[in-house]
A = this chain, B = another copy of it.
Amino acid sequence: MDTIQNITLKLTEHNIKPSLQRIKIYEYISKNLIHPAVDTIYEELIKEIPTLSKTTVYNTLKLFEKQNLIRSVNIDETEIRYDARKDTHGHFICTECGKIFDFNYNYNKIKINGLKEFEITQQNFNIKGICPECKNNKK
């Protein structure tokens, strides 16, 4: 469970000082696995922290990503989305409703040609298309 205590510990483990803002931002991302954009996070948290600045959200997310606590998902052309899931998985975005779905894939089975000697630090597997629900609505 992601209790406040656990979040504090997790931040500390990643060399991030656990301020209220940081705890709340991480809590939101880890409890809402909807790959939120900066603005979504900001709009939700301003309700709890009325003095919150959007710059803080930007700074904090950058810090989290640098410290390898979260990852950014650039599946949306207009804004960066964030994800607290750290295991290897891809993202499907529905071009009708805009919803993002996670999918699992087996990275080891992919035969990648042309990447010998390349050091991999991050991977994004993004697929676009139409989700089952929107497909049904179209009929």
Q: Which residues of A contact B (CB under 8 A)?
A: 72, 74-75, 77, 80, 90, 92, 95, 101-106, 109-115, 117-132, 135
Contact = CB atoms under 8 A, between A and B. Distances in A.
- The prevalent SS among residues of A at the interface is strand
A92 B116 CA distance: 12
B130 A118 contact: yes
Q: Which 7 A-B pairs have the closest CB atoms?
A: A117-B132, A103-B114, A122-B128, A104-B113, A124-B126, A120-B129, A119-B130
A77 B74 contact: yes
B120 A127 contact: yes
Contacts of A102: 114
Contacts of A72: 77
A127 B117 CA distance: 14
A105 B95 contact: no
A129 B120 CA distance: 4
